[in-house]
Chain A
């Protein structure tokens, strides 16, 4: 579904992505792990059109999407749960969901997806008229996932959804991602929480300072000595 090839991204003089390539096949859950500053967010932000690439390819179902404006990329089926959730604090929960469906016009289908989000997150349903800024961290993360689902994406990308959440909530978030994936959605998950991500993933990439240094199935990387040392605490 998603194929990234030889992607190079610079921030001024910083070579943030140094010719990375990766694949996210349809129906799979693929994770990208790596330490802080490795370039994980940059990868997702380039995919969403927020950051410009120097060169390379990003193909979605065979079509080049690199260089398209973000709204066009959303319309083609890529949704993002941004790092730090980025709920709009001034909008109500319902409006936060509505803006997730910004590219869509079919009201009946939109409200069907809203119902789906409510089934997934009953807590969110209880708070529809509250301002996004009044939700707890965990609730905001649920809302961020729900908001992304509102675009009815082919590919759901998540940037460190477990960041800053209490351990119990982290488990909840990964369960939800698993559930969403089992419903047939393709997922591209960026994480620092390597253990949880690898357990979930069909396939995984490890990123270090702008390069992909290792790849394999989630199981393979869980067994890999290098990975165990660097990311799983021995």
Chain B
């Protein structure tokens, strides 16, 4: 394989890995605080794409601003889903939350079919993302280069929120012990909303980059990335942010590498993901990293 192709594959793998990481974080932080697997997370991811799609398609607002607005709307959506769908079940047996999450997922998918239509739509994005840049003689599509950069910036932002802000502190405390966090003055409802907001915001960033890479969107587009990101979170150790990043990166990076180096095996790339899952769980049932730090 020529060196330039190799570099392209590495960037591609890093990009996909980081995209999975962004989505996986949403699963892991929600689980960390509520012990709930938010099955609607992949559908929140899908909705973000449609927000950008309709923003760019129906309004004269520039694409970049549409993307930012879509991230805001997605955050609002995630917070609302928790408020309406999950909060009334707080304290109920875990299986109730699980059912609510599955129901929410079906609801969003069917809502999208009815309102947006089931036929795949071409996702519009600015031409600059398609521009081929040449760095040290290597040809790279701008989006391939931009994806990992944006993801890393998002992760740095996340790190700041979690470790340097009061809400982040509340989140880490509440993920260990609701009652003690409460008697310290933490408002649990606000903290949970904040958590859903962060998770949904990261999913939206991931979704927009994803759609620019694979520019065809439809109501079920979130299902498979959602499952894989969830798998990534489990591999990393559900509840752990670092774990979700590691798990997402592992899955995305190795999928791309497998296809690049063993093209004949590319049909097995999803099997490969679940092999990583099974091996991890056999060797370390709690995943690579323990819990939310």
A: residues with CB less than 8 A from B are 45, 48-50, 69-71, 74-75, 79-80, 82, 86, 88-91, 95, 98-100, 102-103, 147, 151
Flag if B172 contacts A88 (CB, 8 Å): yes
Q: List 8 A-B contacts (CB under 8 A).
A: A50-B179, A50-B182, A71-B182, A71-B186, A91-B169, A91-B173, A100-B184, A102-B185
Is there an interface contact between B185 and A151, defined as CB atoms closer than 8 Å? yes
Interface string of B168-194 (1 = CB under 8 A from A): 011011011101111111110000000
CA distance A75 to B185 in the complex (A): 7
Q: Is the CB of B185 within 8 A of A71?
A: yes
Contacts of A69 on B, CB cut-off 8 Å?
A: 182, 187
Determine how close the nearest CB of chain A comes to the CB of B66; give it in whole angstroms. Answer: 36
B121: chain A residues within 8 A (beta carbon): none
Tell me, rounded to whole Å, the shortest Cβ–Cβ distance linking B117 to chain A: 44
Query: For this complex, into which size category does the number of interface residues on chain B fall?
Result: 20 to 34
Contacts A95-B169, A102-B170 known; A74 to B176 CB distance under 8 Å? no
A75–B186 CA distance with the chains assembled, in angstroms: 10
Kindly list chain A residues whose C-beta atoms are within 8 Å of the C-beta of B180: 82, 86, 88
Whole-angstrom CA separation of A99 from B183 in the bound complex: 10
B249: shortest Cβ distance to chain A, in Å?
Answer: 23
B 7-62 contacts with A by CB, 8 A: none
A99 touches B179 (CB 8 A): no
Residue of B nearest to A98 (CB): B169
Chain B residues positioned under 8 Å from A75 (CB to CB): 185
| Cβ-defined contact, B183 with A70, below 8 A | yes
Nearest-neighbour CB distance to chain B for A81, whole angstroms, equals 9
Residue of A nearest to B175 (CB): A90
Return chain B residues, CB-CB under 8 Å to A90. 172, 175-176, 291-293
Q: Is B166 an interface residue (CB 8 A)?
A: yes
B172, B176, B291, B293 interface centre (most CB from chain A within 10 Å) = B176
Given contacts A88-B176, A90-B292, A90-B293, A49 and B170 within 8 Å (CB-CB)? no
A102 to B186, CA, bound (A): 7
CB atoms of B170 and A99 under 8 A apart = yes
Flag if B184 contacts A147 (CB, 8 Å).
Answer: yes
State whether A88 touches B177 (Cβ < 8 A). Answer: yes
Cβ–Cβ contact B183 & A48, under 8 A: yes
Q: Which one of A69, A88, A151 has the greatest number of beta carbons of chain B within 10 Å?
A: A88
Whole-angstrom distance between the Cβ of B291 and the nearest chain A Cβ: 7
Q: Are B173 and A74 in contact, CB atoms less than 8 angstroms apart?
A: no
Neighbouring B residues of A49 by C-beta, 8 Å:
182
A88-B177, A88-B180 known; A70-B169 Cβ under 8 A: no
Contact B166 A102 (CB under 8 A): yes
The closest CB in chain A to the CB of B180 belongs to A86
